[in-house]
Structure 1
Amino acid sequence: MSESAVKFENYLAGILVILVASPGVILNSSSAVMLAHIKTLKGSFAALCITNCCVNLTILLIFIGWAAPSLFLGRNPTGGLLNRIISQVAFALWLGSVNCQTLLASNRFIAIFFPLKYDKIYSKNNVAIYLALFVSITIIAPSIGFQDGCNLFFDAQSFVWLFNPAPCGSTMFFWMGFIYEIVVFVVVIILDSAIFMKLRLINKHHARMSVENQKKLVQDKRFFWQAFLTNVNFMFVLLNFNVSRMFVQTRFGGFVVVTIVWELGHTLDGLILVLSNREIRKRFFSPNQWMNESTSGFAKSKISTVTRSTAHSTHYIAHYRRRTVHQ
């Protein structure tokens, strides 16, 4: 391949990375902000979704800020410390996104099978503990990659993320990049299957439910399908990263099934969240309405604060006058 053709392919790959990641940055960042501010979406499931959005967002920013420039430059910084650090962070976040699927599926499982215990199991304190464990596992597990020969790195020459070909890297890829993820997704599939069967049984008695329980059932169905589609999305990414790449012979083909599919998974995850939640969807496609609501809420907060301050001042003045009269 001529030098000009190589440069063209490098630039094309870099542009594709940015084009695929940019919508994901917008979708995930917007969803995280909206989930944090919409009162009707407060709760443990929303907290887990916000965590998932933040993981997606950070990974996509790594693609834009590190993978794309490396492709444009055509350099292969595989031996650099910075490349190792950024690549291990990306791998840690990928494992984090995998773990998020387990948290989301287990959350829906508890909500459907143990609705009376749900609030206790997913209280604010317990959710904080779950997220702390999630962060700890996400950070500790890939730390092995900082040892020589164990690291993941982005190879600008082959356009893909690779594990070090040394024995340690191959072992890490097999156990953490394949077996661990397969086990997680098998658990998620079992949970999703159980939830689906339970929802079918509940749906048969839909007509005899109270209006409140019918609304809860609709919400549970929507949350289930959101979690299910997210799991299918990440299973597709996993299969491409571990299986499809073995059947691709060209550099650009490998780039598509590994690099593009990886970042596409995080972009689609944000899209699934937006499309699955009416409150987020309504505000995402009508940003002016959301801004007006936010401004209105801020104004009401200020008015409330001023009202309380005025009431306090009036009370103080009245109290002072009474004391003056008595004196």
Structure 2
Amino acid sequence: MIVLQDHHIAALCVFLVSSCGMTANWFITIFIRRLKSLQNPFGWLTGSQAIGEAVHNSLFCLYFVPMVFFDIEWMKEYSRHCGHVLLICYDITIYSHLFISLNRMCAIFFPLRYNRIFSYRNTMTAIVISWILAIVPSFYFYVYEDCKFLYAGDFYHFVFTTTPVCLFITWYTDFLKYVSIVVIICVLDIITVARVHFARLAMAGTTSTQSSKKRKGDEINFLKQACLQAGVFVCELITYFILEAKVQDKWSKFFLSTVAWVFVHCSDGFITIIFNREFRTVIPCACMKRSVQIGTTRESAHPPAGNMFTASSSKSRLTDSIAKNTENYEVYGANAHSSAYSRQD
């Protein structure tokens, strides 16, 4: 009879969450490059975010789980390198979220200039900046300043070394930075939703009841996505940096730190899939082993309504649509005429 010890149970708990997150985020990363409707700024930024989350979950699934389950000493000795990469992935994710929120806001507030603001070159620049901001400072903080983020077996978690400089880095460059960015993301999304909502109210008398209901549903859909994504990040920051230190039970500490950190990236991937129709339409095709090209061809044959949050159309189309009021746009979700997006430098 096999008797599971505590470290086996901890490893299995992390495996269940991280394997789901790894699958969801690699799914996004792979298929977002093959869907024509996501070849736009929203798709590129979401792909960058998904890569960070996929690597994060993969490290927990393929490094942390065997290290803890089999109690491998040499992996524990080199865990600081794994911890360093995990922190980089977390930063990539949160910076990508910020640029996605900016993308949505620009689509609503500056529709005529959207193609130029989020041109192919500018979007790629934003992605590169998010990766540079995540990678370069990390080498200063976690290598030059010798602030290690390594595995500790007391309750199966990663922990910073307790030097004075490391305590400063933990609080100011990690916790407060992350909270500030999440607050900015929330403010941007709220302003964007409010702008669209009031525009809908102003034009309520000029649209059909069915159209109004659909757009109202789109607003609620986007608001749910924004609230869920911000909510899971805020909860994880509170549990990891505040609540974990206030409890004494080993398993409570484990779930408030390690599991919470893995879960936020796992859930983020599923939220992206659930609230963006492209990914849901691809899943049946993948299950039936059909090529993604067939799926995208069908989408092109029956194109969905234009979407100002996830893609931009040509400038002439934007001008015509704005002349007919912003009511003509379906502004939530990920569906768009991506083929109309022009790569402007």
What is the TM-score when the length of structure 1 is the normalising length? Answer: 0.80
Task: Please name the residue that 2:225 is paired with.
Answer: 226
**Which runs of 5 or more residues in structure 1 are unaligned?**
299-327
**2:36 aligned residue (23, 27, 39):** 39
> 1:227–1:35: structure 2 CA closer, same or farther, 3 Å change rule?
farther
Contact 2:243–2:256 under 8 Å retained in 1? yes
For 2:101 and 2:9, locate their aligned partners in 1 and report how far apart those are by CA, in whole Å: 37
Contact 2:79–2:150 under 8 Å retained in 1? yes
Secondary structure at the aligned position of 2:154 is classed as coil
- Is 1:263 the counterpart of 2:262? The answer is yes
Q: Give the drift of 1:167.
A: 0.9
Q: Which has the higher contact order (CA 8 A, sep 6+)?
A: 2
- Is 1:278 the counterpart of 2:274? The answer is no
Task: Please name the residue that 1:142 is paired with.
Answer: 138
**Which runs of 5 or more residues in structure 2 are unaligned?**
298-345
Q: Counterparts in 2 of 1:24-35, with a 5 A limit?
A: 24-35=21-32
Task: Please name the residue that 2:248 is paired with.
Answer: 249
Q: Counterparts in 2 of 1:1-327, with a 5 A limit?
A: 8-74=5-71, 80=77, 82-143=78-139, 144-147=141-144, 149-204=146-201, 205-208=203-206, 222-223=221-222, 225-288=224-287, 291-294=290-293
For 2:107 and 2:275, locate their aligned partners in 1 and report how far apart those are by CA, in whole Å: 18
CA RMSD of aligned residues (A): 2.8
Q: Give the drift of 1:196.
A: 2.2
Letter in 2 for 1:208: T
Larger Rg: 1
Deviations 1:138-182 (A, max 9, x none): 101211201354111121333111111111211110112211112
Contact 1:76–1:156 under 8 Å retained in 2? no
> 1:183–1:297: structure 2 CA closer, same or farther, 3 Å change rule?
closer
Q: Give the drift of 1:76.
A: 6.4
For 1:228 and 1:193, locate their aligned partners in 2 and report how far apart those are by CA, in whole Å: 9
For 1:296 and 1:110, locate their aligned partners in 2 and report how far apart those are by CA, in whole Å: 30
Contact 1:108–1:223 under 8 Å retained in 2? no
Secondary structure at the aligned position of 1:154 is classed as strand
For 1:290 and 1:235, locate their aligned partners in 2 and report how far apart those are by CA, in whole Å: 38
Q: Give the drift of 1:217.
A: 8.4
For 1:75 and 1:157, locate their aligned partners in 2 and report how far apart those are by CA, in whole Å: 15
For 1:251 and 1:76, locate their aligned partners in 2 and report how far apart those are by CA, in whole Å: 21
For 1:296 and 1:271, locate their aligned partners in 2 and report how far apart those are by CA, in whole Å: 21
Deviations 1:62-115 (A, max 9, x none): 1012211221133666983x3222111111111221212211111111112222
Contact 1:230–1:269 under 8 Å retained in 2? yes
Task: Please name the residue that 1:305 is paired with.
Answer: none
> 1:125–1:154: structure 2 CA closer, same or farther, 3 Å change rule?
same
Letter in 2 for 1:65: L
> 1:293–1:246: structure 2 CA closer, same or farther, 3 Å change rule?
closer
- Structure with more of its chain in helix, by fraction: 1
Secondary structure at the aligned position of 1:112 is classed as helix
For 1:43 and 1:106, locate their aligned partners in 2 and report how far apart those are by CA, in whole Å: 14
Letter in 1 for 2:91: L
Contact 1:21–1:264 under 8 Å retained in 2? yes
Deviations 1:107-147 (A, max 9, x none): 11111222221111100010111111111101012112013
Q: Give the drift of 1:282.
A: 2.2
> 1:44–1:182: structure 2 CA closer, same or farther, 3 Å change rule?
same
Contact 2:41–2:123 under 8 Å retained in 1? yes
Letter in 2 for 1:138: A
Q: Give the drift of 1:216.
A: 8.5
Deviations 1:189-228 (A, max 9, x none): 2112211211220221245259xx9888876765554344
Q: Give the drift of 1:265.
A: 0.8
> 1:41–1:289: structure 2 CA closer, same or farther, 3 Å change rule?
farther
Task: Please name the residue that 1:314 is paired with.
Answer: none
Letter in 1 for 2:283: F
For 1:168 and 1:12, locate their aligned partners in 2 and report how far apart those are by CA, in whole Å: 34
Secondary structure at the aligned position of 1:157 is classed as coil
What is the TM-score when the length of structure 2 is the normalising length? Answer: 0.76
Contact 1:21–1:63 under 8 Å retained in 2? yes
Secondary structure at the aligned position of 1:36 is classed as coil
Letter in 2 for 1:90: L
